[in-house]
């Protein structure tokens, strides 16, 4: 991926009266990358996308597109385009007329508009006979493709997406996630995507930026953020997780209620070494936790009672109550289901390469 950013935010803040929605954020977006911004409601992601696309201006800070400062340039003067959740297609126009609209505004001759529209329809896997079809005759997935084709007709340097798949059913959404990722690869455009769906972010993105209270909590690849979150907030936001509060032991390992460390617990290269008495939180994802039977053992072990079993299609999820009352989650492929029933005593274990320590997180 190129190191020179196409879009750069420097100390960008946005406040409405005394409410500070964005808090002095910096961000570099690489040319050609697929960046997804996620966060809970109220984290500032919608305000951020409005600033990026030019629908609003920052209170302070700068936005740079390559070597040009753009924070005071209106949206229609920027080489960028937005695909809205509502799609904003014209219901009284045909598919071809919708796609051609930005070209017509620019005064492109009719023959060239039609040729470009058909080219984009082919790129988005829409048959030529859709050109004259009414928008009202198109399915939800087809309308998504039409909106994308219209956005690409602008030939923008950056495409911004504001939760464009959120109104679709699950099966269609999963199909379009893959198509968007493939479209990104084929066009080479820079995609900046806003969503509340972690599944969308993890399937499509080169990088994910997680927002919290108007700032970026962590930016990185899906694998990095999932396996090595910088805080408890990120760990919990990125899916099911087991967390154990504790501290560094005298031997340099981890000491926490209910957790038995069978070997000195080295946090690993991505975490700071534990110091005796240092407060920390041990994290392990459910898929890395095993049910143990004698004489099996793991680097970390927890004893508890099986409380519930849930079928999740290809996976089975278990809830286990540890001796201290903490509820733990274990996930296994369905073919690896255990032979047990609620009320059974169990021993859970995991290896230290799958443990991660959360130290010094932002309050």
- 266-280 in b/e form (b: 16+ CB < 10 A) is bbeeebeebeeeeeb
How would CATH label the architecture of 240-358?
A: Beta Barrel (2.40)
In the three-class reduction of DSSP (H, G, I as helix; E, B as strand; rest coil), residue 262 is classed as coil
Gap between the Cα atoms of 214 and 48, Å rounded: 9
Domain 5-227 shares a fold with domain 240-358? no
Beta pairing partners, 16: 19
What pLDDT is recorded for position 270? 40
Gap between the Cα atoms of 272 and 82, Å rounded: 41
What pLDDT is recorded for position 269? 39
Gap between the Cα atoms of 252 and 250, Å rounded: 5
Q: Are 208 and 221 contacting, i.e. CB atoms less than 8 angstroms apart?
A: yes
In the three-class reduction of DSSP (H, G, I as helix; E, B as strand; rest coil), residue 39 is classed as coil
What pLDDT is recorded for position 263? 59
Contacts for 354 with CB less than 8 Å, ≥ 6 apart: 284, 285, 288
What is the dotted CATH code of the domain comprising 5-227? 3.40.50.300
Beta pairing partners, 29: 7
The dihedral built from the CA positions of residue 179, 180, 182 and 187, taken in this order, carries a sign that is: positive
Token pair of 148, please?
């994308």
What does each C-alpha distance from 234 to 108, 209, 241 come to in angstroms? 48, 10, 10
What pLDDT is recorded for position 273? 63
Per-residue pLDDT of the chain (363 residues; tens, 9 = 90+): 446 799 999 999 999 999 999 999 999 999 999 999 999 989 999 999 999 999 999 999 999 999 999 999 998 889 999 888 777 888 989 999 999 998 998 899 999 999 999 999 998 889 999 999 999 999 888 998 899 999 999 889 999 998 888 877 888 888 888 989 999 999 999 999 999 888 889 999 999 999 999 999 999 999 999 999 999 999 999 999 999 999 887 776 788 878 988 655 454 434 456 788 888 999 999 999 999 998 999 999 999 999 999 999 899 999 999 999 999 999 999 888 898 899 999 999 999 899 999 875 443
In the three-class reduction of DSSP (H, G, I as helix; E, B as strand; rest coil), residue 287 is classed as helix
Beta pairing partners, 161: 83, 193
The pTM score is: 0.87
What pLDDT is recorded for position 169? 83
What pLDDT is recorded for position 266? 53
Rounded to 5 degrees, what are φ and ψ at 65? -105, 105
350 closest CA partner among 230, 251, 241 = 241
Gap between the Cα atoms of 292 and 295, Å rounded: 8
In the three-class reduction of DSSP (H, G, I as helix; E, B as strand; rest coil), residue 250 is classed as coil
Q: Judging by beta carbons within 10 Å of its beta carbon (0-12, 13-18, 19+), is residue 311 exposed, middle or buried? A: exposed
Tally of residues, the chain: 363
Gap between the Cα atoms of 63 and 11, Å rounded: 9
359 closest CA partner among 194, 208, 245 = 245
DSSP string, 22-38: EEEEEEEEETT-EEEEE
Gap between the Cα atoms of 156 and 347, Å rounded: 56
Token pair of 325, please?
């009352």
Token pair of 96, please?
């071809």
What pLDDT is recorded for position 260? 87
Map out the domains of the chain as residue ranges. Answer: 5-227, 240-358
């Amino acid at each position: 991926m190129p190191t020179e950013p196409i879009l750069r935010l420097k100390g960008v803040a946005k406040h409405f009266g005394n409410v500070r929605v964005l808090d002095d954020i910096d961000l570099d977006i690489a040319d050609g990358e697929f960046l997804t911004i996620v966060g809970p409601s109220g984290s500032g992601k919608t305000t951020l996308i409005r600033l990026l696309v030019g629908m609003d201006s920052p209170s302070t800070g700068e936005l740079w597109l390559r070597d040009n400062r753009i924070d005071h340039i209106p949206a229609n003067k920027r080489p960028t385009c937005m695909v809205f959740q509502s799609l904003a297609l014209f219901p009284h126009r045909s598919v071809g007329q919708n796609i051609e609209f930005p070209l017509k505004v620019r005064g492109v001759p009719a023959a060239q508009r039609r040729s470009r529209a058909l080219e984009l329809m082919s790129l988005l896997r829409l048959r030529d006979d859709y050109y004259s079809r009414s928008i009202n005759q198109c399915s939800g997935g087809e309308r998504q493709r039409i909106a994308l084709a219209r956005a690409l007709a602008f030939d923008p340097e950056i495409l911004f997406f504001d939760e464009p798949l959120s109104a679709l059913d699950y099966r269609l959404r999963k199909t379009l996630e893959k198509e968007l990722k493939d479209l990104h690869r084929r066009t080479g455009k820079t995609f900046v995507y806003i969503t509340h769906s972690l599944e969308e972010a993890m399937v499509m993105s080169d990088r994910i930026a997680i927002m919290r209270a108007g700032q970026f909590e962590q930016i990185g690849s899906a694998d990095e953020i999932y396996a090595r979150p910088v805080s408890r907030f990120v760990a919990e936001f990125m899916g099911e997780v087991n967390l154990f509060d504790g501290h560094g032991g005298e031997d340099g390992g981890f000491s926490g209620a209910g957790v038995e460390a069978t070997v000195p617990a080295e946090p690993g290269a991505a975490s700071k070494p534990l110091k005796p008495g240092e407060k920390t939180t041990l994290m392990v994802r459910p898929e890395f936790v095993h049910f143990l039977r004698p004489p099996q053992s793991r680097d970390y072990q927890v004893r508890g009672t099986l409380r519930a079993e849930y079928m999740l299609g290809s996976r089975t999820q278990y809830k286990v109550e540890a001796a201290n009352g903490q509820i733990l989650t274990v996930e296994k492929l369905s073919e690896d289901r255990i032979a047990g029933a609620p009320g059974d005593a169990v021993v859970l274990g995991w290896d230290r390469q799958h443990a991660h320590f959360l130290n010094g997180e932002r309050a």
